[in-house]
Amino acid sequence: MSYIAYLIGSGLLLWALIPLFKKDSTWVSMYLENEELEDHKKRVYGNIADLEFDYAMGRLSDKDFKSVRQSFLTEAGRVIEKLEQEASSELRAQIIKDTSVLGKKKPHKKKKNMCPDCGSKNQLEAKFCMKCGKELS
Partner 1 sequence: MADLGNILLFFLFPASVFTALTALAAGYTKRRGLLEAARRGAYVAFGVTTLAVLALEYLLVTSDFSIEYVASNTNLALPMFYKVVALWAGHNGSLLLWTWIVTIFSAIVAYQNRHKNNDLMPYVIFVMAATMTFFSILSIFISNPFDTLYQDLGNTLQEYAVPDGRGLNPLLQHPAMVIHPPVLFIGYVGAVVPFAFAIAALITGNLGAGWIHTTRRWALTTWGFLAAGIVLGGKWAYVELGWGGYWAWDPVENASLLPWLTATAYLHSVMIQERKGMLKVWNMTLVIATFLLSIFGTFLTRSGVVSSVHAFANSGLGPAFAIFLTIAALFSVGLLLFRAKDLKPDEEMQSLVSRESSFLFNNLLFLLATIAVLWGTLFPVISELFTGDQITVGPPWFNNIMIPIGLALLLLTGVGPLLAWRHTSAETLKRSFGLPILGSAVFVAILYFSGVKDGWALGSFAISFFVMWTIVFEFVKGARIRSKNSGDQFFKAMYMLSRKNTRRYGGYIIHAAMVVMFIGFTGNAFNSETRAEVGEGDTFELGPYTFYANHIHHAENENYSSETLELEIRKGDRIVTLIKPEKRYYFASEQPSTEVGIYSSMREDIYAVLSGMSNDGQKVIVQVYRNPFVKMVWIGAFILVFGTLFAMLPNLRETKSGKIVQESKGVE
Pick from 33, 41, 60, 114 the residue near partner 1 by CB under 8 A: 60
Q: Distance (Å, rounded) from C-alpha 114 to C-alpha 121?
A: 4
Residue 73 interacts with partner 1 (CB under 8 A): yes or no: no
Cβ pair 43, 72 in contact under 8 A: no
Site string for partner 1, 40-59 (x = CB under 8 A): x-xx--xx-xxx--x-xxxx
Pick from 19, 97, 103, 125 the residue near partner 1 by CB under 8 A: 19
Q: Is the sign of the CA dihedral 102, 105, 110, 115 positive or negative? A: positive
Residue 62 interacts with partner 1 (CB under 8 A): yes or no: no
Q: Which helix (H) or strand (E) holds 64?
A: helix 62-101
Of 22, 23, 24, 41, which Cα lies nearest the Cα of 32?
41
Residue 68 interacts with partner 1 (CB under 8 A): yes or no: yes
Residues at the site binding partner 1, with contacts judged by CB under 8 A:
1-2, 4-6, 8-10, 12-13, 15-22, 24-27, 29-31, 35-36, 38-40, 42-43, 46-47, 49-51, 54, 56-61, 64, 68
